[in-house]
Amino acid sequence: MSARCEQIVRVPLPEAPGDRRYEYPRKVLELALSKVHKDYRVEDATVRMNQDRQVAELIAGRFIDVAQLPFSAEREAVLLPIRIPLHKGLIGWRIGLIRKGDQARFSKIKTADDLKAVRIGQGSEWPDVRILRSNGMNVVTGVTYDGLFGMLQAGRFDYFMRDVIEIWDELRDHADTMEIEQSFVVHYYYDAYFFVNKGNTKLAEDVRQGLEQAIADGSFEKLFQQYWSDCLRKARLNERTVIELPSPDVNSETPIWRHELWYSLERSQ
């Protein structure tokens, strides 16, 4: 009997050492591929890259085969998306890092119009920038992920909008100078999909089928809860004012009608 050939699936390294944001998507990918009974093995790429570089490398077919990227119209046009939100939309539930002692500046914010008076920090290549600016927000951008924390501390902007799952590790690393804003949460339909090169249809279909099986048998939800239930508990979303923002990246193919794919504040209570 001949040995079966193992297929390597390369995924991006995080942008910076110690950045744990890619750990969960890799576990989701490994779970999905395990459901299709193929000989896949997930490996890290050999170079670090930001989101724009990941898109470029997928298009070129170099270094990586799959990337978890926040969806956008531009990315969906040039890559092949697997349209299942990997974090059940939690990337679109946004709270913020602020400088220590600044909470009083934010406690009266109740509406989107109130938020327009705040300078919000974001990465220059992040799709959130377009979402926020399309809603009239004052966005200040930075080139590097690490550099944004320094910009907040230096007063270049006042509110570093983060999602409810990534903010806790970031607070731990910057607890001497920063704190989490306590009064409101911004919500828009937004998350990461897995993306592959447009020609890699076989891998895309295997990932899609694996994700659907994991959702159906409960293993996706189990992994989601394992990683994020504590973050949601600490975020106290039900105690915050919810500011809803429409997203220009939601289109007819965004599966917002599949309620089981999205975290809901009402269904979680």
d(CA 118, CA 110): 12
Domains and CATH numbers, the chain: 7-89+191-235 (3.40.190.10), 90-187 (3.40.190.10)
Question: What DSSP element (H or E) covers 78?
Answer: helix 73-78
Tens digit of pLDDT at every position of the chain (269 positions): 344 678 999 999 887 777 778 899 999 999 999 999 889 999 999 988 888 999 999 999 999 999 999 998 899 999 999 999 999 999 999 999 999 999 999 999 999 999 999 999 999 988 899 999 999 999 999 999 899 999 999 999 999 999 999 899 899 999 999 999 999 999 999 999 999 999 999 999 999 999 999 999 999 999 999 999 999 999 999 999 999 999 998 989 999 999 999 998 775 55
Give strand pairing partners of 122. Answer: 141
pTM tops 0.75 = yes
If 0-12 CB within 10 Å is exposed, 13-18 middle and 19+ buried, where does residue 195 land? buried
pLDDT, position 20: 79
pLDDT, position 18: 73
Tell me the angle at which helices 201-217 and 219-235 cross, rounded to the nearest 10 degrees.
70
Cβ neighbors of 25 (< 8 A, separation 6 or more) are 11, 68, 86, 192, 194
d(CA 122, CA 131): 11
pLDDT, position 267: 57
DSSP designation for 199: T
Secondary structure of residue 47 in the 3-state scheme: strand
